[in-house]
Structure 1
Amino acid sequence: MTDNKAKSSYLSDRKPRSDFATRREYLEHELQTMAPRRWRPNLPFRDYHFEWEDLVPAMAATIGKVVMVAAIVAAFAAPLGLSKEFITENVRFEMIIAAVLFVILVSGFLNPTSNLAGTHGPLIPMIPLIVVSGGHPMALGIMVGVLGFILGITKGGSLLAKLTSNGVCGGLLLYLGFIGITSQISHLFSWAETFDKGYIAFVVVAMTIVMYAWLEHVQMRWLAIPLGSVLAAIVALMLGAPFEFVTEPGIPNMNPAYWWGENTGWQLGLPDVYSFMAVAPFAILAVAMWSPDFLGHQVFQRLNYPDKTDRVIMNIDDTMVTASTRQVVGTVLGGGNIASSWGTYIVPASIAKRPIAAGAVLTGILCIITALLGYPMDLAVWPPVLSVALMVGVFLPLLEAGMQMTRKGKTTESAGIVIFASALVNPVFGWSLTVLLDNLGLIGCKERGKELGHMGRWIIPGIVFVILCAVMLAIGMFPGIPPMVEAFRVD
C-alpha cells in the first residue's frame, strides 16, 4: 500500500459502532484504522473521531496539569519568597500557553503521534536544590529545551536509554519516588498543623492508601489522580479544613517583560552566566531522564493497544522535539513549567484505548476553560488535593516503576549504588557515577558492558561524569567543598 493510500484509509476502512458486538472491539478497530499524518494537518472526522472515552484522559490530564505545574512553580516560588497568588497566575499562564500552542495545535492537528508536552514530575524534588545552587527558572528551561531538541533531532533518546541500565533507572526512580512521597507527607502535616488539626493529614493519607490499593486491585489505577483529588478534598472539608475560592475569572498577564522583570513576576530579571552554570547538571539529568520516561509511556501504549496499531503509537523523538520547543517557548514567555511527556494523559488514554489526537483537543479546551475560570485553580493547589495528586500520580508510580525495573537480572547492585551516591551528593551525581560504574561492568550485569563497545562502555559515560562533576564542583554542590567560580556571579 502506498503512503497516500495509507493516509486516506481511515475514512474508507472505518466502520460504525453498530457493526461491532462490543464497545471494546469498536475502539480497537478505530485504532487499527487510523493513519496519522506526521507534521501535516490532521482534521477531526477526516483523520479521527471524538468518543466519550476521550473525556477520561482529558479530565485526568487537566487535573494533573494544574497540580503538576503548580507543584513545579511552587517549588521554585517557596525558596524565592513568592506569594501564592504568583503561583496561581503563573500556572494559569502556563496552561493557556500549553493548551493553545502545543496541546491542540501540535498533538491535536499537526502530529498526533507526538504525545502532549506535560510536566517533568521527577524533577520536582530537586527544584529547591536548584534554587539554592543559584539556578534561575529561565536558565533551566532554556537549557532543558535546547538539550532536549538536540536529542530529539539526532535521535539521541534511544542512545541514552541504551546506556542507562534498568538497575540505574530503577534506583533513580526509587530514590526520587521515596523522597517525593516523604516530602509531600511532611508538607501535608505541616499544613494541617497550622490550624491545629494534624489528624486531618493522617486521615487523608490513610484513606488515599486504601483508595490506591483498591484501584490497583480493580486495575483502574488511571483514575488515581481525579479520584484521589476528589477524595482528599471531601475528607479534608468534612474534617473542618479551611478553604475558600479566591481566584476570580480572568486572563493572566501575557507580557513576558512582566514575568521576567526585576521587580515584577519572578523578580529575578534575566539569568547571568552563573545561573546557566548552576542549572547545567540538572538540565542534563532532566533530559537524560526523558528517555526512560518516554519509553515507558510508549510501552504502556503497546501493552494496552491491540495488534496492528503501530501508526498511532507515540513517536519518542517527535515527542522530544515537541516537549523541547514547548519548553523554550513557555520559558521565554514567562512560565515556570519543566516539560516532559504528559503521563497523566497518555496512561488513561492508553487504558481507554484512545489515540492521542482527539483527547488532546479536549484536554486543551478543558485547560483553557480551567485557566480562565480561575476558581478550579484554587482547589487544585489546595494542599490536600495537591499533595495527594502528586503522591498517587507521580511519586508512588515512580516507586512502583523503580521496583519493577529492579526485579530481573543483576540490577539491585546498580540500584543500591545510585541511591547511595544520590544521598551523598544529589541524583545528578548518583546517576552519572552509577552509569559509568555499571557500563564498565564493575557493578550490575558484567556481560552488558561488553555489548556497548568502547563508546558506550566508558567514553561517553566518562565524559558525561567528568563534565557534571566539574560543573557541580564549580558551583559548590559537593558537601563541604566551597564553590570554585563565585567570581562568575554578576551582582
Structure 2
Amino acid sequence: MANDDPKSYRALHRPRSEFASRQAYLEHELSIMSPRRWRINLPFRDYRFEAEDWVPAMAATIGKIVMVAAIVAAFAEPLGLPASFVIENARYEMLIAALLFVVLFSGVLIPTANLAGTHGPLIPLIPIIVASGGHPMALGIMIGVLGFTLGVFRGGSLLARLTSDGVCGGLLLFLGFIGMTSQIKYLYAWAEGFDAGHIAFTVVLATIIMYAYLEHIGKRWLAIPLGAVLAAVIAFALGAPFEFTTQPGIPNLNPAYWWGDDTGWKLGLPELHQFIAVTPFAVLAIAMWSPDFLGHRAFQYLNYPKDAKKVVMNIDDTMCVAAARQVVGTALGGANIASSWGTYIVPAAIAKRPIPAGAILTGLLCVIAAVWGYPMDLAIWPPVLSVALIVGVYLPLLEAGMQMTREGKTSQSAAIVIFSSALVNPVFGWSLTVLLDNIGIIGDKERGEKMTRTDRWIIPSMVFILLCAVMAGIGMFPGIPALLESFQMQ
C-alpha cells in the first residue's frame, strides 16, 4: 500500500512545530512531495493545504477575470458585440476553467502541470485576426491541436533545454519592464480621465512602499492581496468612481447558443477559409508558449529548495493541459486563448507552495466570482487591476531576470534578447538570441561546445526561420508590409 511506504509524503510529513521557521517547514514540504502523474492525488495523502495557498489562488482569480475579459473584449469590439456579452462570456470561461481543468488536472491528475491560464501577449493581435477573416473557434482549435502536438512530442522541454539562463533572464527583464510601465501608463490614463492624476500617483507610491516593506520582512508573497486592497481603499478614499454592476447568476451553458448564427457570437461554425486565415496566428501563439513557460518555471527554480525537483512544473504536461483546455473551452463557446497561468504560478513559487493545493482553491474562487458576479467588477477596476499585475507578475519578472543575469556571460545574451525583442517582439528576440547563443557568437561559448550539432544550430535555425516566415506573413516586422496581404492582392 502507498500509505505504508516510508518514503511517501504522509510518512515523511512533520508538523510545523518541529521547524525553526515557517520557511523551513514549507521547504521541507516541497522536498518530500512526490506527485502521482496521471493518477489520483489527494489532500493530506499527497499534499496539504496551507494558509499561503490562498495567496496564489486570490492572485490567479483576479488575474483570470482581468485577462479573460480582455481577450473576449478584444474579439467582441470589432465584431460589434456589447459589453454585456463580454461579461457573460468571461463568466462562462471561468466556470469552464475551474470545473473542467483547474481542479481536475492541476489539482488531481497532473499536479506538475501548471494551471491553464490566458495568453496575454496575443491580445494586441486579436483585432488583426478578426480583420483577417479569423473565427474565434477556428483560432482556438488550431492553437489546441498545434499545442497538443508539441507537448506530446516533448517539443516544449526541448526548446526549454536549448534556452540558456541569459536568454531566459533577458526575456524576464524585457517583459517585466514593458508590463510594469504599460500598467502605470494605463493607471494614469484612467485617473486623468476624470482629472484626478494625483490618485494614480498616490496609489503607485503607496504600492512601492508596501512592496519594499514586504521584501524587508520576507512576506513578498502577500503583495497581490494586500496591494489590491490598498489600491482599492486609497482610490475610493480619494474619490475615484466605482460601482457594482454585474448581478449574481449563471451564464448560458449551452454551446449551441454561443456558436449560433443569431445568438452568442452570431458567427455560426467556422468554414475552411477561416481556419486557413488563423493558421499563422496559431503558430505564433504556440511559439510564444515556450518563453512564457520558461519564465514561469524559473520562479520555481529560484524559490524552491534544490531537492524539490519532483514538484517543479513540467513544461510538456502543461502544454498538453493548456491545449486540451483550449480545444474544449473553444468548442463549448468560450473565447479564451490558453497558456500557462502566470498570475498563479509566480505568487505560488514565491510563497513556496506546490501547484495542486492552490489549484483547488483557485477553482473554488473562480466559481464563486463567476456566479456571484460582483467580484468581477472589483477585479477589473483599474487601480486593483494594475496594482495586482504590477506586484504579482511584472516586478517579480524583473527580480527573477536580474538574478538570472548576474554573470557577464549571461548578461551578454540578456542584452541581445532585450535589444531584438524591442526591435520586433519577444518571439523574435527569443528565437534569434537562442540561435546566436547556442552557436557561440554570444554568451557562454563552452555551453555550446557541449551540445550536439542538432541542438546547437539545426533546431534553433529551423525555429528562427519558421517564426520569421510566420511573422513576415502577417506583417509583424516594423516597416515591412504583410507578405500574405501582398500575395492576396496579386
Secondary structure at 2:37 match in 1:
coil
CA positional deviation for 1:359: 2.9
> 1:295 corresponds to which residue?
297
Structure 1's 225 and 295: CA in aligned 2 closer, same or farther, altered over 3 A?
same
Could you tell me which amino acid in structure 1 is paired with residue 206 of structure 2? M
Cα deviations by residue, 1:115-138 (Å, 9 ceiling, x for unpaired): 322334555566667667776544
Unaligned runs of 5+ in 1: none
Cα deviations by residue, 1:200-254 (Å, 9 ceiling, x for unpaired): 2222222222222222222222112111111111111111111110000011222
Secondary structure at 2:337 match in 1:
coil
Answer yes or no: is 1:172 the counterpart of 2:175.
no
Unaligned runs of 5+ in 2: none
> 2:68 corresponds to which residue?
69
> 2:365 corresponds to which residue?
366
Answer yes or no: is 1:485 the counterpart of 2:484.
yes
2:284 maps to which of 277, 282, 285: 282
CA positional deviation for 1:381: 0.7
Q: Is the 8 A contact 1:113 1:313 kept in 2?
A: yes
Answer yes or no: is 1:336 the counterpart of 2:335.
yes
1:221-370 equivalent positions in 2, closer than 5 A:
221-260=220-259, 264-266=263-265, 270=270, 272-300=274-302, 302-303=304-305, 307=307, 310-350=309-349, 352=351, 354-370=353-369
> 2:141 corresponds to which residue?
142
Answer yes or no: is 1:102 the counterpart of 2:113.
no
> 2:451 corresponds to which residue?
452
Cα deviations by residue, 1:449-485 (Å, 9 ceiling, x for unpaired): 2222221222111111221222222222223332232
Secondary structure at 2:289 match in 1:
helix
> 2:419 corresponds to which residue?
420
CA positional deviation for 1:260: 4.3
Cα deviations by residue, 1:85-119 (Å, 9 ceiling, x for unpaired): 33322221121111111111122222333332233
Identity, in percent, stands at 68
Structure 1 residues 188-197 or 368-377, which shifts more? 188-197
Secondary structure at 2:207 match in 1:
helix
Secondary structure at 1:411 match in 2:
helix
Count residues in correspondence.
486
Secondary structure at 2:409 match in 1:
coil
Q: Is the 8 A contact 1:439 1:449 kept in 2?
A: yes
Q: Is the 8 A contact 2:287 2:467 kept in 1?
A: no
Q: Is the 8 A contact 1:319 1:341 kept in 2?
A: yes
- In 2, Cα distance between equivalents of 1:408 and 1:131: 44
Cα deviations by residue, 1:251-292 (Å, 9 ceiling, x for unpaired): 122233444456654556537144323414521332222441
Q: Is the 8 A contact 2:347 2:392 kept in 1?
A: no
- In 2, Cα distance between equivalents of 1:20 and 1:216: 22
Q: Is the 8 A contact 2:302 2:400 kept in 1?
A: no
Structure 1's 171 and 35: CA in aligned 2 closer, same or farther, altered over 3 A?
closer
Structure 1's 97 and 205: CA in aligned 2 closer, same or farther, altered over 3 A?
same
Structure 1's 401 and 140: CA in aligned 2 closer, same or farther, altered over 3 A?
farther
Structure 1's 482 and 342: CA in aligned 2 closer, same or farther, altered over 3 A?
closer
Secondary structure at 1:480 match in 2:
coil
Structure 1 residues 410-419 or 377-386, which shifts more? 410-419
- In 2, Cα distance between equivalents of 1:470 and 1:293: 25
Structure 1 residues 326-335 or 247-256, which shifts more? 326-335
Structure 1's 44 and 95: CA in aligned 2 closer, same or farther, altered over 3 A?
same
- In 2, Cα distance between equivalents of 1:33 and 1:277: 44
- In 1, Cα distance between equivalents of 2:427 and 2:42: 42
Answer yes or no: is 1:433 the counterpart of 2:435.
no
What RMSD over aligned residues (CA atoms) do the two structures have, in Å? 3.4
- In 2, Cα distance between equivalents of 1:443 and 1:228: 40
TM-score (norm. length: structure 2):
0.86
Structure 1 residues 83-92 or 228-237, which shifts more? 83-92
Could you tell me which amino acid in structure 1 is paired with residue 480 of structure 2? I
- In 2, Cα distance between equivalents of 1:102 and 1:419: 34
Q: Is the 8 A contact 1:6 1:35 kept in 2?
A: no
> 2:389 corresponds to which residue?
390
> 1:118 corresponds to which residue?
117
Could you tell me which amino acid in structure 1 is paired with residue 99 of structure 2? V
1:373-412 equivalent positions in 2, closer than 5 A:
373-412=372-411
Secondary structure at 1:379 match in 2:
helix
Q: Is the 8 A contact 1:147 1:287 kept in 2?
A: no
Could you tell me which amino acid in structure 1 is paired with residue 182 of structure 2? S
Structure 1's 19 and 483: CA in aligned 2 closer, same or farther, altered over 3 A?
closer
Q: Is the 8 A contact 1:346 1:356 kept in 2?
A: yes
Could you tell me which amino acid in structure 1 is paired with residue 95 of structure 2? I
CA positional deviation for 1:147: 3.4
Structure 1 residues 460-469 or 318-327, which shifts more? 318-327
Cα deviations by residue, 1:408-431 (Å, 9 ceiling, x for unpaired): 232333333333323333332222
- In 2, Cα distance between equivalents of 1:136 and 1:430: 28
> 1:38 corresponds to which residue?
37
